């Protein structure tokens, strides 16, 4: 297959490496002047991965879109709406393409899921799936396998991607619950920040309680939004906890740890933005979300981390279930 990848960060470069290794013809698109794009283009490597000579590059969006039937997008979630508008203007619609969204986030403005934005801008008939689940580039390139997930309202589309991209390195499952899978994947990053805060405060022992309560909290929101709570206990959320709450490669966990230590962190931690989106959804659907509220208070309201965390875990007595 001819596949275009939009995005040249850690995950985008891995996708190029992985899909090219499966025998697909891969074209990477990056914005002119982007340092990460220029480095990949000229050196064919970044701090994570080395790319083969088979992978092509372009900074012309029209060429990138017209060259492939499948468009894989891996960019920061908050910049996604603007990119989709550019795609529409370039193709005068969805162009009959199949889109795969390989990022985990909810847009701050309006608390919208990424597939929602695709539908609103490119049309509800747009063929779109999200590629979610656990796994770090640093592990994959060492040959360490994992399981991941394709979710789409079109079951046949999701299943076709599972077949097309499966390998001994990644086993895929599929789901038609876009709401649950997208909310679960995005909110997982907020729980990851919480785990990092616990690490930074030397409260790592509380990760067990965090893991027990986190999925219940996100499941309540998912149900209120019309999703299937079972998704939260699958690969998109709970199944991704090891990679996000414990791994040294987790950007969100590392951000939380460094934040409470007063140290800066220069890599993208999507949970920083997602938590504000969750506060919007919390009010919209009138759902109790104590963990996410606490993380928002620490990061965006600048409340003292130790006091907030102590209050979170020392709340009034409640039944576990």
**Catalytic residue set:** 188
On whether the CB atoms of residues 213 and 291 are closer than 8 A, the answer is yes
Which H helix or E strand runs over 89? helix 80-91
Strand order in the sheet with 170-175: 56-58, 25-29, 2-6, 70-73, 98-101, 127-132, 146-151, 170-175
On whether the CB atoms of residues 252 and 271 are closer than 8 A, the answer is yes
Cα distance between residue 234 and residue 230, in whole Å: 7
From the centroid of its chain, how far is CA 258?
A: 21
Cα distance between residue 274 and residue 232, in whole Å: 16
Nearest to 14 by CA among 48, 42, 58, 64: 48
Bridging pattern class, strands 127-132 and 146-151: antiparallel
Which H helix or E strand runs over 228? none
Nearest to 291 by CA among 263, 256, 319: 256
The number of C-alpha atoms within 13 Å of 126 and in the hemisphere containing its C-beta is 28
Dig out the tokens for 250 from the structure: 């987790």
Dig out the tokens for 177 from the structure: 């619950």
Cα distance between residue 33 and residue 227, in whole Å: 40
């Amino acid at each position: 297959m001819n596949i275009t990848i939009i995005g040249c960060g850690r995950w985008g470069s891995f996708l190029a490496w992985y899909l090219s290794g499966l025998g697909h013809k891969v074209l990477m698109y990056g914005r002119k002047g982007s340092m990460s794009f220029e480095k990949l283009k000229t050196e064919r490597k970044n701090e994570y991965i080395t790319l083969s000579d088979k992978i092509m590059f372009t900074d012309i969006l029209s060429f990138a879109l017209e060259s492939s039937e499948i468009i894989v997008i891996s960019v920061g979630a908050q910049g996604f709406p603007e990119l989709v508008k550019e795609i529409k203007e370039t193709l005068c619609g969805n162009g009959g393409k199949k889109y795969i969204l390989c990022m985990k986030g909810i847009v701050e403005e309006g608390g919208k899921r990424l597939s929602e934005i695709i539908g609103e801008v490119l049309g509800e008939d747009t063929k779109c799936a999200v590629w979610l689940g656990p796994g770090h580039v640093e592990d994959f390139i060492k040959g360490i396998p994992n399981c991941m997930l394709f979710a789409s309202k079109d079951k046949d589309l999701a299943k076709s991607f599972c077949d097309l991209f499966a390998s001994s390195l990644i086993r895929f499952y599929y789901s038609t619950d876009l709401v649950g899978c997208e909310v679960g994947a995005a909110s997982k990053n907020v729980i990851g920040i919480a785990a990092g805060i616990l690490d930074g405060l030397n409260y790592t022992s509380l990760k067990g309680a965090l893991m027990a309560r986190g999925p219940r909290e996100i499941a309540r929101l998912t149900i209120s939004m019309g999703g299937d709570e079972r998704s939260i206990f699958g690969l998109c959320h709970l199944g991704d906890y090891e990679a996000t709450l414990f791994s040294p490669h987790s950007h969100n966990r590392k951000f939380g740890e460094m934040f409470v230590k007063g140290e800066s962190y220069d890599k993208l931690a999507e949970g920083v933005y997602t938590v504000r989106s969750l506060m919007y959804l919390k009010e919209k659907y009138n759902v109790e979300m104590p963990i996410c509220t606490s993380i928002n208070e620490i990061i965006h309201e600048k409340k003292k981390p130790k006091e907030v965390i102590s209050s979170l875990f020392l709340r009034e007595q409640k039944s576990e279930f």
